[in-house]
Structure 1
Amino acid sequence: MGARPGAAERRRASGPDPAGSRGYESFGGGVAEFASESSPWWRPRPTAPAGSPNVIVMLVDDLGFSDLGPFGSEIPTPNIDALADDGWVFTNYRTAPMCSPARAALLTGLNPHRAGFGFVAHTDPGYPGFTCELPDDAPTLAESLRAGGYATFAVGKWHLTLESRLHDAADRSSWPLQRGFDRYFGSMDGFTSLHHPHRLVRDNSVVDVQQFPDGYFLTDQLTDEALAMIDELRVNDAEKPFFLYYAHTSVHGPIQAKPVDIERHRGRYEAGWNALRESRFARQRELGIVPPHAELPGDALADGDRIPHWEHLGDDERALFARHMEVYAAAVDEVDQSVGRLVAHLEDLGERENTVIVIASDNGGTAEGGPSGTRSYFAQFGHSAPLPDGWVRDVPRDPEEIGGPRVFSQYPTGWARVSNTPFRSFKSSTYEGGVHAPLIVSWPEAPVAARGLRDQFVFVSDLSPTILDLVGVPPLAELRGRPAQEIDGRSVAGVLRDPAAEGRAAQYFECVGRRAMVDGEWKAVSPEPPRREEGAAGGRWELYHLADDPTETRDLAADRPERVADLAERWRSEAWRNTVFPLDDDGTLHSTRPATEAALAAPVALVPFRAPLERFRSAQLTVLKSFAVEATVVVGPDTAGVVVAHGDQGGGYLLGIEDGAPFLSYNAYGEMHRAIGPVLAPGTRELVLHVDESEGLRWRLRLEVDGERSAEIAGVPMLLGMAPFTGISVGYDYGGPVDWELHERHGDGFRFSGGAIERLRYVPGARSRHDPTVLRRIGEAVAELAD
C-alpha cells in the first residue's frame, strides 16, 4: 500500500481564542486565519501509520464447532477454507455460552459480566453484571481503532443495546455509532427474518422501507452494504485503513436460506445425524482438529435422551429432519459466499494481502429446535410463561417451505449435536459444546512465517487486544473523561508467531447459574445452579482432565475431591471479581425489569403509513395481556386495505377491509384463522378490536363496528415471548405478511386506500397472571444515596 498522508489537519476555531493566539472572532471583512499549533483550539486529527492493515471481524451466530470445512464439516466452504489454508486455525478457542455476552467481550476485551452482559440484551435486573449495556468507561475495539486513525464500519446483528432502548425515542448511547462506528447497517435485535427483516437501522435511524422485493435476502444486502462502505471510503481516501465488523444474522433461528442454495444440499443428510456426526469426527482427527486420543461422547453423555434414533424414524420424519439440515447447510454456505465476495473485492482493490480477517462463532450450536425441530420458531422460543398441555410447538407445513419466507424454523437437537462435534451439550451450557467454537485468523502480509493449527487456549476477550496489537494501535487509556477499565483479555499475537507460545491459563464461565472453571489442563463444570443454601461454590460439580479427555467423557470428581473444591473456590473468587453475582439460582433473576419500562405499556395513538412501531415497544402493548385496538375509519365505496397489522409469518394478527367488509386474520405460529364481518356502510365508522385473554394462554378476538359485533375468532393460542416479532404498522402490512394468502392477492402490504384512517389507538389491559415480570425502581436507590 502507498504512503498515507502524514500532515495533521487543523480545524478552525468557531469563536474567540481564550489563549490569545492568532485566531479570529468573525469572518468580518477579511480572510480568517487558522489557529496556531500552540493554541488549545488546534487538535490534530488521528492518522494511522502508513501501511496499517485493514481489519475484518466476521462473527457468525450460533455456528457449531464443526460447521466449517477447516473444522471437519461436509458443508462446502471454499472461501473460508482458503483463508484457513494460509492462516491460523485455532482448535482451542472458547467463547461465552450466549451471543450478547460473547459480543460484548469481543468488542471490549472485558469478561462478559464485567462488560455488563451476563445474559442476552433483553433484561436489566439491576445488577452490574447484567445491565445489558456496554460500560461508559470500557472502550470498544471500534473506539480505539477510530482514535488510531481507522474508518470503522459495522453491518449485521448488534444485540448490545437493552431491548427497551431500541425504539425511536430511546437513548442511543449504546447504539453502534455512539460506540465507535462511523457507519452501521443491520438489525439491532438478536435476530430477524432474512427474507423480510422486521426492522433495519442505518446509522442512527430506522430504514423506512415498507416492502421488500421478491427474492430479497438480508445476507446479500449486508454484504452489499459492507462493500459500499469500503468503496465510499476509497473514493474519498485511498489510504485510510478500515475496520469492518460483520456480524451475521445467519445461522441463528429462524434458519432461512435462498432456494438455489438449499437445492445444492438436497439429499446430503439422508443418512441421519449419527452417521454425519461420526464422519465429521473422523475428518477432525484426520485434520488434527482433535487429538488422536479424543473420544466421541456416547448417547448417555451427549443428550441421547433428547435425540430420536434415526433408524427408528419413519420416512416422513426423516425427510422432514433432513430438510431442516439442508437449509442449515445452505445458510452456512451463504456465510461462506459473503466471505468470498469480500475477499474478491479486496483483491480487486489490491488490499487483500494487508487485511487481517478474523472469523469466529459467538457460541456453540443451539438445541432451541427441540427433538423434532420446529416450523413454528416463536411457539417455543423466548417464553417466560409455562406452556399449557396441548400447546403446538411445530405447526405442520410442507417441508419444502422450510427455509423460505413462509416458515420460521429451527433444526432438531440431533443436528445441533452434529454442529458441536465432538463436544457435549449446546448453546447456554458451560460444557464444551456451549463454549468451544471455531476461530480462524488470516493475514497474508503478516511478518510471520509459521501458520497452521494452534491448540493454545484463547478466549473471546483476547480478540480485541490481539487485533490492536497486530495493527499497532494502543487501546484508549480514557473514555468520556474517565480512565478506561483494565481489560481482562491479553494479546495472543505471539501465538501467531510461535506455535509453542503460551495461551491463556484460566477462565471462568457462567450462564443462567450454570458454572465452569478452566485452569490449565483441568476443568470443573457445574451443569445446574446450586441451591441457595449450598452457596456459590456449592452444588454438584464435575471434573475433567482436558489434556487426556478434551470431550468431557470421564468425570473424575469422585477421585479428586480436593481439586474439585479448589476449582469451585477459584470460580467463586473469579465470580466476585467479575460481578457475576447474583446467580439465577431459582430462575427468576431475569423476570425483574426496570420500572421505567412501564411507560412503554401506556395507551398510544399511532400514525398511518409510518415505519412500524419497534418490536419491543409494540410487545409492551399486547404480550401476556388483553388489549383493544380502536380505529376511526372513513369508508367509501372503494375502501380497501389493511387498517393495522402486527407480526409476520412467525405469528401475528391483522385487521383490514376487503370487498367492502372488515376482516380479521390471525396467524397462530403458522396456523391461520380468519373471520369476516358484514359489509360496511359508507361514512365514518368506529372499529374496535378486542383481544381478551382466556384460560390456557389463549386469546379471543372480537371486532365491533359502531358498537355492534361484526366478526370473531375464538380460542386461539396467545402470541408469546418474541411474537409478534414484526412491530405494529398502520395502513399497511409491513415486511413479512401476517396472512400469506392476502399477500398473494394484493401484495405491496395491501396498503389502505379509498378512505381514511383518522385515528388508531392501542389500549393495553391488565397483565396476565402468567406474566412473571416484576418492575422495580432499578438505579433510583443508588441515585438517592449519591445525592
Structure 2
Amino acid sequence: MKAEDMIDRIDEIGTELHFNHFPAGWAWAVDSPFQWTKQVASHLGGVRNPLIVKWPAKLKATGETRTQFLHVIEIAPTILAAANVPEPRSVNGTAQTPIQGKSFLSVLDDAKAPEVRTSQYFEMFVNRGMYDKGWWAASLAFEPWDPVRGEFDPTKAKWELYNLDEDFTQSKDIAAENPEKLEELKALWWAEASKNKALPLDWRGAERFSAEGTGKPNLAGGRDNFTYKGVLAGLPESSAPDLKNKSFSVTAKVKVEENANGMIFTQGGNTGGWAFYLKDGKLKAAHNYIDVAVYSFESDAALPAGEHEVKMDFAYEGGKEMGKNGTITLSIDGQPAGSGAIEQTTPFKYSLSENQDVGMDTGTALSTDYKAPFDFQGELEEVVVDLKK
C-alpha cells in the first residue's frame, strides 16, 4: 500500500483498529549502516543481530566486543558446554539429528581466539547469502514488501561480492574485480543448500501464507463439514475450516429475545476474515479484505424473539483463481433475508494471531460495527460450517 492510499485513515494508524507495523523505510533505517532489512538473507541488514553475554562467575572480560563470525546455531552448543551437559543423542528413545553449531566459549574467553564458524549459507524467499573466511557473496531476488513475484530463474540471478574484513557494511560490491572468488562462493552456496535440504527453492510471496496452496498440515484438512456445539473460543486459523477462495455457508440454531446482539461465528479479525452476528436484532455478515475494505450486509428485517435457524451463505465466483469476488446471502428459517456483493476476498491468510470463535469474538473486531468480545445474547445450540469446493 502506498502512502497516498493511507492519507484518509492517517489518524487511525497506531490505534487498535489496525495491525500496526512501522514502514519499510524505517525498517531499513534502523538497520543502518547495513543494507536491507528483515527477510533479506542476502545482506547483513537482514541477518546480523547483536548478542550480549553476561557471566560474572566465569568470564573475566567486561565491556568488551568480539568480531569473530558466529551463527545462531552456535547458541545451544555454547549453553550446553557452559553447563557441562553433553548434547543429547536420543530423547525418549528418538534419535536426534546432531547439532551443527559449535561452542564459542573460547571466543568469550579470548578476543583474539580464532573463529569457530568460518563458513555459513543463508536463504529466505530466495534471497541468498554465503559467508566464507571473511568473504560474503550476496544475491537479492525480491524485496520483502513485493508480494507479487512471478517466475524466477535463480541460476541467472545477479550476485554481489564483499570483503567483510575491509568493508563490514557491505558498501562496495567487488564482484567484477574478483570473478573467480564469486564463482567459488556461488558453488559453495549450492552445495550447502543441497546438504541442508534447502532445495528446491520457493520464490513465491504471499502465496506461501496459504495453507491449502502450499499443502501445509491442517487439523481441519480433508473435511467439508464442521459442527460446533455452544461457545467456542480461540481455535487457531490453522486448525479451523479454510474459508478462503471457495464457497461456504455458516448455519446456526439460535434462541433469542427481541433486539438481540452478539457474535455467532467469526474467523480472523481487523486484518482479514469473516463475521456473522446479530446487531440490534438484525442478522449481519461482514468480510474484511486485508484491512483495505470491509464489506457489510444486514437482513431486511429484525429477527423476532424465539427459536430460529439463521444462515450466511457465500457463493465464490472466482473459480480456481484466488482472492476474487462473490455474493453473500442471508436467510432466516429458510427464507432469504438479504444479499450483497463482495468485490474482493482475502486470498491467503486472515491474520498472524487471530482465531476462530463461536458465540463471542476473542480477538480484534473485524469491523467497527461492533466491539469485541461481543458475547452472544441468547442460546446458541449449534453452528455448522459447510465448505463447497
Range class of TM-score, shorter chain: 0.7 to 0.9
Distance 1:711 1:645, change over 3 A: same
**What is the letter of the counterpart of residue 170 of structure 2?**
E
Aligned counterpart for 1:519 among listed residues 126, 129, 132: 132
1:472 aligns with 2:84: yes
SS of the aligned residue for 2:108 comes to helix
Partner SS, residue 687 of structure 1 = strand
Instruction: Give, as a single letter, the amino acid of the residue that structure 1 aligns with 2:248.
Output: F
Rounded to whole Å, the distance in 1 between the matches of 2:191 and 2:264 is 57
1:663 aligns with 2:284: yes
Whichever residue aligns with residue 413 of structure 1, its letter is A
Q: Indicate the residue corresponding to 1:432 in structure 2.
A: 44
Match of 1:633 in 2: 254
Q: Is the 8 A contact 2:297 2:338 kept in 1?
A: yes
1:708 counterpart = 2:331: no
Q: Specify the alignment match of 2:375 in structure 1.
A: 751
Paired letter, 1:408: F
Q: Which residue of 1 aligns with 2:121?
A: 508
The whole-number CA distance in structure 1 between the counterparts of 2:204 and 2:276 is 41
Which residue is 1:685 aligned to?
Answer: 308
> Per-residue CA shift, 1:309-354, capped at 9, x if unaligned?
xxxxxxxxxxxxxxxxxxxxxxxxxxxxxxxxxxxxxxxxxxxxxx
Alpha carbons of structure 1 residues 484 and 644: separation in structure 2 relative to 1, 3 Å: closer
Alignment CA distance shift 1:551-1:595 (3 Å): closer
Gaps spanning 5+ residues in structure 1: where? Answer: 1-369, 374-391, 767-787
1:577 aligns with 2:189: no
**TM-score, reference length from structure 1:** 0.43
In structure 2, distance between residues paired with 1:533 and 1:464: 32
For the 8 Å contact 1:667–1:739, the answer to whether it is kept is: yes
Percent identity among equivalent residues?
29
Q: Structure 2: 5+ residue runs without aligned partners? A: 143-150
2:362 counterpart of 1:734: yes
Shift of 1:481: 2.6
Task: Judge conservation of contact 2:324–2:344 (CA < 8 Å) in 1.
Answer: yes
Distance 1:468 1:710 in 2: 65
Taking the TM superposition and a 5 Å limit, the aligned residue runs for 1:486-505 are: 486-503=98-115, 504-505=117-118
Structural mapping, 1:357-396, within 5 Å = 372=3, 394=6, 396=8
Amino acid at match of 1:632: K
Distance 2:386 2:89 in 1: 49
Q: Deviations over 1:31-67 (max 9, x none)?
A: xxxxxxxxxxxxxxxxxxxxxxxxxxxxxxxxxxxxx
Distance in 2 (alpha carbons) for counterparts of 1:569 and 1:712:
59
- CA shift at 1:750, angstroms? 2.7
Cα distance change of structure 1 residues 417 and 613 upon mapping to structure 2, 3 Å threshold: same
Q: Name 2:32's counterpart in structure 1.
A: 421
The residue matched to 1:630 in structure 2 has which SS? strand
1:605 aligns with 2:234: no
1:451–1:496 CA contact under 8 A, matched in 2: no
Partner of 1:544: 162
* 3-state secondary structure, aligned to 1:496: helix
Equivalent pair of 1:640/1:656 in contact (CA under 8 Å): yes
8 Å contact kept, 1:513–1:528: yes
Distance change (3 Å), C-alpha of 1:565 and 1:632: same
Cα pair distance change 1:664/1:485, threshold 3 Å: closer
1:456 paired with 2:51, answer no
1:663, CA displacement in angstroms?
2.5
Name the counterpart of 1:650: 271
The RMSD of aligned alpha carbons is 3.0
Aligned residues of 2:258 and 2:303 also touching (Cα < 8 A): no
C-alpha contact (below 8 Å) 1:606/1:761 kept by paired residues: yes
Residue 604 of structure 1: how far off its partner (Å): 0.3
* Deviation per residue, 1:551-608 (Å, 9 max, x gap): 2222222221111121112222222322222222677995441687673542101122
1:617 and 2:239 correspond: yes
Distance 2:126 2:302 in 1: 57
Q: Does 1:675 align with 2:297?
A: yes
1:593 paired residue number: 215
Seen in structure 2, the aligned counterparts of structure 1 residues 447 and 527 have a Cα distance that, compared at 3 Å, is: closer
- Provide the secondary structure at the position in 1 that maps to 2:60: coil
Distance 1:461 1:654 in 2: 43
Aligned pair count reads 368
Work out the CA distance in 2 between the residues paired with 1:406 and 1:519: 46
Encode CA deviations 1:78-130: one digit per residue, 9 max, x unaligned.
xxxxxxxxxxxxxxxxxxxxxxxxxxxxxxxxxxxxxxxxxxxxxxxxxxxxx
CA contact (8 A) 2:69 2:118 kept: yes
For 1:762, which of 367, 385, 389 is the aligned residue?
A: 385
Q: Secondary structure at the match of 2:81?
A: helix
User: Of the candidates 134, 141, 147, which is equivalent to residue 528 of structure 1?
Assistant: 141
Shift of 1:450: 5.0
The residue number in structure 2 matching 1:118 is none
Of Structure 1 and Structure 2, the greater strand share is in 2
Aligned-pair CA distance for 1:653: 3.0
Equivalent residues in 2 for 1:269-418, closer than 5 Å: 372=3, 394=6, 396-399=8-11, 401-418=12-29
- SS at the partner of 1:742? coil
CA contact (8 A) 2:220 2:239 kept: no
Q: 1:497 to 1:751 in 2, by over 3 A?
A: same
Q: How far off is 1:451 after superposition? A: 4.0
Mapped to 2, the partners of 1:652 and 1:596 lie a distance apart of: 18
Deviation for aligned residue 1:461:
0.4
8 Å contact 1:517–1:523 — kept in the other structure?
Answer: yes
